[in-house]
Amino acid sequence: MTGGSPDAGPAGACPGSGGGRVPEEERLARVRLSRVIEPGDTALGRRLAEVGAEGVCADLRGDRPPPGVGAERWAGLRLRYRDALPERDLWAANTLGARFVCPGDPEWPAQLDDLGEGRPVGLWVRGGPSLRLLAVRSVAVVGSRACTDYGSHVAAELGAGLAEHGWTVVSGGALGIDGSAHRGALAVGGATVAVLACGVDVPYPAAHADLLRRIADQGLVVAELPPGLRPTRGRFLTRNRVLAALTRGTVVVEAAVRSGALSTARRAADAGRAVMGVPGSVLSSHSRGVHRLLREEAVLVGGVEEILELVGPMGEPGG
């Protein structure tokens, strides 16, 4: 670690915090809650909107759960709260070149407020650029982990083409389509953002450890979860709402009928964002989910120009 102990930082703003207009006590409370509240918890999100982060922390020091939270789950949350050390998480982030950004900060992307009670408590952001500025002109490119060569090629071409037009490519850092989209943007010197279902310091998947480092160097790695926390299936699914709401639109390149990428597309539709799909072979199981999406709500796209026709005229997401 740099600059002192994780248990006692210097006076003023905590290292690893995003700065801005949020009172330090409220920020520390949100940092603590990021280790307590699971992403997408609408019951606690509702309570957070009502009483603020400090109010929720006060609740957690008592025995009575808020409406919508059962006694057993409340007991587990109180144990998490007791063990959470916000200053340590901020210092761990600081050593990574990461920071905590929350609602009220200048860097906070206002379009995430569209998630309502499911809005993130805050985001851990690793990398130099402003998340808000990168997200203003951004498109999510997602798809199956087990993709075909065709899907990988298309995702890389879309990633490169969007980046060359000055757009940020957002994806989930996973194997398959996600990785190809990120690499396409990186190859042309463009900006890309990986939204993870784990801490920003966790190299998941392990095969993408180097890719995630490159993304942090050239763009941003973002997560709701504090440093050190691992992904779970539920966290992958709730992560998708952030991918969808952060961007102007979501492009699904390849997806089987049960692919998690379809969850991102549905979240995008719910948030009023553009939903697009790239067609594949009618003989390929890797494209059946995309074809179903195209029948239901997505617009067929075959290249960057068609994507920009749909997302370019729109104002800032959430605006």
**Both 135 and 100 in a single domain?**
no
Residue 1's pLDDT is what? Answer: 29
Q: Which domain holds residue 231?
A: 131-311
**Both 287 and 189 in a single domain?**
yes
Strand partners, 139: 169
**Both 276 and 217 in a single domain?**
yes
Residue 6's pLDDT is what? Answer: 34
**Both 103 and 149 in a single domain?**
no
Residue 168's pLDDT is what? Answer: 99
Count of structural domains, the chain: 2
**Both 292 and 246 in a single domain?**
yes
**Both 195 and 296 in a single domain?**
yes
Asked whether residue 316 is assigned to any structural domain, the reply reads no
Residue 21's pLDDT is what? Answer: 82
**Both 48 and 167 in a single domain?**
no
3-class SS of residue 201: coil
Distance CA(288)–CA(257), nearest Å, equals: 6
**Both 158 and 95 in a single domain?**
no
Residue 8's pLDDT is what? Answer: 32
pLDDT tens, the chain, 319 aa long: 233 333 333 323 444 555 558 899 999 999 999 999 999 999 999 999 999 999 999 999 998 999 889 999 999 999 999 999 999 999 999 999 999 999 999 999 999 999 999 999 999 999 999 999 999 999 999 999 999 999 999 999 999 999 999 999 999 999 999 999 999 999 999 999 999 999 999 999 999 999 999 999 999 999 999 999 999 999 999 999 999 999 999 999 999 998 889 999 999 999 999 999 999 999 899 999 999 999 999 999 999 999 999 998 654 555 4
**Both 289 and 216 in a single domain?**
yes
Strand partners, 99: 125
Residue 312's pLDDT is what? Answer: 84
For residue 214, give the CATH number of its domain: 3.40.50.450
**Both 79 and 140 in a single domain?**
no
**How far does CA 36 lie from the centroid of its chain?**
18
Asked whether residue 291 is assigned to any structural domain, the reply reads yes
Distance CA(77)–CA(34), nearest Å, equals: 11
Q: Alpha-carbon dihedral of residues 232, 196, 269, 289, nearest 10 degrees? A: -60
Asked whether residue 1 is assigned to any structural domain, the reply reads no
**Both 277 and 307 in a single domain?**
yes
**Both 82 and 137 in a single domain?**
no
Residue 18's pLDDT is what? Answer: 52
Cβ contact 69:95 at 8 Å: no
Asked whether residue 254 is assigned to any structural domain, the reply reads yes
Tokens standing for residue 36? 């307590």
Distance CA(43)–CA(262), nearest Å, equals: 25
